[in-house]
Amino acid sequence: MTRWPLLTMAVLGSALGAATAAITASAQPAPPPALSPDSTAALRNALLPSDAIRGDLARIDSAFRVLHPALFRYHTEATWRAAVQSVSDWAATPRSRGDVFVAYSRLVASLRCGHTYLSFWNQPRAVHRWLTDGTDKLPFEYDLLDGDRWVVTRSATFLSGDTTAVLPGDVILAVNGVAIPQLVRELLPLLRADGDNDGKRRALLDFRHRKEFEAIDVFLPLLHPPVGGRYVITRRRGARTADVSVAAVPSAVRRTQARPVPPPRTMHEFTRLSRDVAVLRVDAFDYGRESAKWEPFVTSTFKALAAERIGTLIVDLRENEGGSDEGAEFLLRHLLRTPIDLPALRLAVAYDTVPVAMRPWLSTWDDAFYDRRGTIARRASGGFDLQQSAAWPKRIPVAADAFTGRVLVLTSYVNSSASHIMLRLLARQPGITLIGDPTGGSLRAHTGGNLFFATFPGTGFEIDLPLIAYEWDPANPSGGVKPDIAVPARDAYARALREARGARR
């Protein structure tokens, strides 16, 4: 298969990071039962010595300076030094595990790099025990709507006897006395995203992604933990506002027990809506064990489109955060009208070899990442170019069985890595209309591809550290791809149906 150079390695940061965590988890025994609220709080509040916090801070500073290819994309030497010093000054006395996780997250997020963060999935088991698996999560799910409003979609408060405390449709106004807009403002500086794309950061605070746990599960208990195992929720139901106390739960309990129960959902689905309109939904380009089924699924889908003479295809990518480069490219070629000549791109790395002193707390899936010599060329301005990037193909061809009708692609701030780049390229194509929110990601530059998983010995925290910078035009805006028809992502499907009906008249 023709490889897609813009995605090769670009998406492996998220895909292989998650895959590594999944493989590791599958090789381990079943996790122990959930901690009690008190035990969760005790582990979260345990103090870390100043020397441990500062020691790991020095390691983070050193690792980023030596290895990170985009440390100074948005930072200057002065602003980065000041940010590190601020955390060091704060760590002059012992601090709780939870507070240190927040402080490190804020520091790392200041790089404005979508692949650099304290990964929720790649933390060591001892950290997972209290960070993601503890009994300190909200017992309901919500949609984050315009104006930073939480509207409840599913609730598990009935599990503790609170049968009507929080119900779907309730608007949550505050948690533990903190108004939701203020809470969102507190959370945004802790979240990963490329450049100035706060839409992506807000998307990470939503519950629509069907993951084991969400960013709110990690950070809310660290900023505003439950008291006595309970949260005080201010909610509005109709015209009435009330404060209610609800029991905190493990995220796994909420995910499996909250009502209403959502229908089963596959990673991809093809549906014919009418004689002339069909929908292709693709939630990810990374399927794990299901990856072998992807190309036959795409092939059969586009054969059906041709055989049934479908005129309009709605491609729903709103939940797609990226994944396999081959998977994204295979679908892209079936949507193209003309071959795509790839835009100019430089791939940069910051180092030639990894210092021996760093290697004990770094891990990855390919030992070649430790020694780049022979594959890089030094830049006069500092750092290195990956030499093989110049030899990559410059054109993406059209598949022989590509769709020739009208294509309406549904977009959202969730779209990053493979899906962001795919949408960037589709936006140039005739006959294709993007509908929804702008994408996540940055039109200026991003990182990804090869990663180190850096687990620091003093605190035990892990940071995903990308090793390749993908440099587009620095004059581009640092936001995502703008749709042709801008509507909130939740309304994009309805708008696409109206567009499809209009096309048939």
Regarding pTM above 0.75, the answer is yes
Where residue 17 falls among pLDDT bands split at 50, 70, 90?
Answer: very low
At residue 20, the pLDDT reads 37
Residue 252 has pLDDT above 60, yes or no: yes
Does 323 or 272 have the greater pLDDT score? 272
At residue 325, the pLDDT reads 77
At residue 4, the pLDDT reads 38
* CB 233, CB 165: distance < 8 Å: yes
| Least confidently predicted of 16-20, 163-167, 231-235 | 16-20
| Segment 76-100 mean pLDDT | 98
pLDDT tens sequence across 253-278: 999 999 999 888 888 999 999 999 99
Mean pLDDT highest for which of 148-152, 338-342, 391-395? 148-152
At residue 418, the pLDDT reads 86
Residue 6 has pLDDT above 50, yes or no: no
pLDDT tens sequence across 365-378: 999 999 999 999 99
Share of the chain above pLDDT 70, in %: 90
At residue 448, the pLDDT reads 83
pLDDT tens sequence across 140-153: 999 999 889 999 99
At residue 194, the pLDDT reads 93
| Segment 158-173 mean pLDDT | 94
At residue 29, the pLDDT reads 52
Mapping DSSP onto H, E and C, the string for 309-361 reads CCCEEEEECCCCCCECHHHHHHHHHHHCCCCEECCCCEEEECCCECCHHHHHH
At residue 370, the pLDDT reads 98
Residue 208 has pLDDT above 80, yes or no: no
Domains of the chain from N-terminus onward: 140-257 (2.30.42.10)
Residue 504 has pLDDT above 70, yes or no: no
pLDDT tens sequence across 50-60: 999 999 999 99
* CB 395, CB 299: distance < 8 Å: no
At residue 389, the pLDDT reads 53
Distances from the Cα of 495 to the Cαs of 258, 431, 433, 501, in angstroms?
30, 17, 12, 10
Does 40 or 322 have the greater pLDDT score? 40
| Segment 461-472 mean pLDDT | 92
Q: CA-CA distance, 234 to 178, in Å (whole number)?
A: 9
At residue 313, the pLDDT reads 98
Residue carrying the six token digits 């993007």: 434
At residue 27, the pLDDT reads 43
pLDDT tens sequence across 32-43: 678 999 999 999
Q: CA-CA distance, 234 to 173, in Å (whole number)?
A: 5
Share of the chain above pLDDT 90, in %: 75
Of the candidates 477, 400, 420, 472, the residue with the CA atom closest to the CA atom of residue 70: 472
At residue 473, the pLDDT reads 75
Distances from the Cα of 304 to the Cαs of 207, 271, 298, in angstroms?
33, 11, 10
Does 161 or 492 have the greater pLDDT score? 492
Where residue 465 falls among pLDDT bands split at 50, 70, 90?
Answer: very high
Output DSSP code: residue 137. B
Does 326 or 486 have the greater pLDDT score? 486
| Segment 211-233 mean pLDDT | 95
| Segment 52-77 mean pLDDT | 97
At residue 30, the pLDDT reads 60
pLDDT tens sequence across 194-206: 999 999 999 999 9
At residue 19, the pLDDT reads 39
On average, the pLDDT of the chain sits at 89
* CB 440, CB 448: distance < 8 Å: no
Q: CA-CA distance, 311 to 282, in Å (whole number)?
A: 19
State both tokens at 68: 């990170």
